Structure 1
Amino acid sequence: MRKPDFNDLVWFQAVAELRSFTKAAARIGVAQSTLSQTIRQLEERMGFPLLTRNTRNVALTVAGERLLNTITPRLAQIEDVIAELSALRDLPSGLLRITLSDHAFDSLVWPKLKPVLAAYPEISVEFSLDSSFRNIVEEGFDAGVRLGESIEKDMIAVRIGPDWRLVAVASPEYFARRGMPDHPQDLLRHSCINMRHITAGGLYAWEFEKDGQPLRVRVDGQLTFNNSYAMIDAAMVGLGIAYVPENIVASQLKAGALVQTLDDWSPFFEGYYLYYPSRRQNMPVFKALTDALRHKR
């Protein structure tokens, strides 16, 4: 005997529960004649009748009653498993490789992603922390974080943070020893702590602005880093002036461990964006990522 088709059993269940071919056909969405023929073929393959029919109603035979009682809980289990698998399909999962600066990681991305990673253990993330400009497609990254002004036009960009600025800071001992600069050009007479952007091809020229007039100053000093936090540590021990993100030295400024200078020359920059190729946007893992990181104004 050929095994019954799964749909045959589902359709038999509908007829048996509703005691009507007309109602069962409407529930399933097929023609009544098609349903009647399918049940008849099922009975022929099994070798015994499952239903008794007359002009008014449909009733179960003893064999039909037994079959219904057997398949009903099993079909329910199958439906539950399929529903669970469908839900699992829509859960964020997979590996993401993200390139971003230490400042973006510590001040924005990590605080926002920690609860997401706890909620979705199937998500794995590899962070590449550096201040260089990376080609995420060529280097195999899924996404990157950059300031809005430096994102390629063919990328999808989602704002994840507010505008921010760099501030010039040094220890009180340094300024007591070397004096406080009044103008960005005065930095040329100071020991400054440089930042090197590897892929940009050189040292970062400190960007200032006042009354709408931009000014860039190429400073010099004893130390060069590619990490903002190392620059802060060097500034705190009196080794020079550092130009670093304001929000990551707020506590040191409040405690008096660092002193800010040239405040009125420090402009705001457009905030950070998460960017990625368009082909990624429909993946559940990217929806979870962008929803968590999106900037709430």
Structure 2
Amino acid sequence: MHRSEYGDLAAFLTVAEEGSFTRAAAQLGTSQSALSHTVRRLEERLGLRLLSRTTRNISMTEAGAKLYAALAPAFDDIRGSLAALDELREKPAGTIRITSSRSASDAILMPAARKLMADYPDLNIEISIDQRLTDIVGDGFDAGIRLGEQVEKDMIAVRISPDLRMAVVGSPGYFEVHPKPKTPHDLTGHNCINLRLPTKGGLYAWEFEKNGRPLNVRVEGQFTCNDVLLIINAASNGLGLACLPDDMVKDPICAGQLVRVLEDWCPPFPGYHLYYPSRRQHSAAFTLFIEALRWRGPRDFPLAAETRA
């Protein structure tokens, strides 16, 4: 059977079910004259009259009724199969590959991922921990999580955390020996722990701002490391001062292991964002993943809009 004949049969079936060329044409998105021509072509090909047309109504002939009885169950099966495929397409399933920093993964990604995987057994999530700014397209990731200011301009970014601030911290034992700095200039007299950046290998310059005036300070100290957890451990054990995003040190601060200083010199900056390369049609799983991570305000929880980072 030629593929056009399936369309002709579907047209006849719709007219028979609606009992009207006008209603059937509206349902099929075509004109009444075109639909009438299609049914007439089917009748000519079969050599049988399928519909009796009067000025007031349409009824099936004996041949039309027999054809309808044969077609209706078959087309119902086809519609059911297509509906099942739609349901499968909309069912959250498959694998989502994400690259993320460890801090964002621990604080935001894993809590959401655990709940999603528990609620949707066919959903798989793969997380790659990497401090570098990964090429998510080239490396085959669906999305990445980084600080907002690190996201490339051509990416779609969805906020998944509130703004963050840098925190300069030291242990209570360290401050028993050294006075607390009152301004960033006082850091020259302190043993500071340097963070080796993962991208180009340079040292992070501590960034401050007050009254709209930025100030970057190159600090010096005995210890340098590219791992945040080791830096937190070193600072907690009195090795020197550290400067890290406040979400990374909030627990040791609350536990009394670290003390924060220079807080009035540390303005907020964009928090973590989920980023991906385009607004193409997403799978049900990825759409669900975005909504699970999307940050909502602390009070009335307005949806944060997708933005060009």
2:230 & 2:249 partners in 1: Cα distance? Answer: 12
Partner of 2:304: none
**Which residue number corresponds to residue 80 of structure 1?**
80
The correspondence of residues 196-275 of structure 1 with structure 2, limited to 5 A, is: 196-211=196-211, 212-222=213-223, 224-275=224-275
Are residue 128 (structure 1) and residue 131 (structure 2) matched?
no
Unmatched runs of 5 consecutive residues or more in structure 2: 298-309
Q: Is the CA contact 2:221–2:240 (under 8 Å) kept in the aligned structure 1?
A: no
Deviation sequence 1:153-174 (CA, Å, 0-9, x none): 3333333332211212233233
Contact 2:16 2:60 in 1 (8 A): yes
Secondary structure of the 1:202 match is: coil
Question: Deviations along 1:216-275, whole A, 9 cap, x unmatched?
Answer: 1323223x3333233223333444333222223323322323222232333322323333
CA distance in 1, matches of 2:27, 2:209: 71
- State the match for 1:41 in structure 2: 44
Using a 3 Å threshold, how does the CA distance of structure 1 residues 245 and 231 change in structure 2: closer, same or farther?
A: same
How much identity, in percent, do the aligned residues show? 41
Aligned-residue offset at 1:214: 1.2
The match for 1:154 is 154
Summarize deviations over 1:131-168 as a string: whole Å, max 9, x none.
Answer: 33344455554433333334333333333332211212
Change in 2 beyond 3 A, CA 1:133/1:42:
same
CA distance in 1, matches of 2:166, 2:19: 76
Q: Which residue of 1 aligns with 2:178?
A: 179
Are the aligned partners of 1:206 and 1:219 in contact in 2 as well (CA < 8 Å)?
Answer: no
Q: Bigger CA drift: 19-28 or 208-217?
A: 19-28
Give yes or no for contact 1:170–1:258 (8 Å, CA) kept in 2. yes
Of residues 106-115 and 16-25 in structure 1, the stretch that sits farther from structure 2 once superposed is 16-25
Deviations 1:81-131 (A, max 9, x none): 223324544666665544332222233344445545555666554433233
SS in 2 for 1:128: strand
The SS at the match of 2:9 is helix
- The CA deviation at 1:76 is 1.5
1:65–1:225 distance in 2 versus 1, CA, 3 Å: same
What's the secondary structure of 2:217's corresponding residue?
A: strand
After TM superposition, give the deviation of residue 11 of structure 1 in Å. Answer: 3.1
Q: How many residues align?
A: 289
| Conserved? CA contact 1:181–1:187, under 8 Å | no
Q: Offset of 1:290 from its aligned partner?
A: 4.1
Separation in 2, partners of 1:194, 1:17? 77
TM-score, length-scaled by structure 2:
0.73
Q: Deviations over 1:51-108 (max 9, x none)?
A: 66778753442x6544433432321121122233245446666655443322222333
Unaligned runs of 5+ residues in structure 1 are: none
- Specify whether residues 133 and 19 from structure 1 end up closer, same or farther in structure 2 by C-alpha distance, changes over 3 A only: closer
Q: Mark the CA change 1:38 to 1:109 in structure 2 (over 3 Å): closer, same or farther.
A: same
Asked if structure 1 preserves the Cα contact closer than 8 Å seen for 2:148 and 2:270, the reply is: yes
Counterpart contact for 2:207–2:214, Cα < 8 Å: no
Q: Quick check: 1:192–1:242 contact (8 Å CA) kept in 2? A: yes
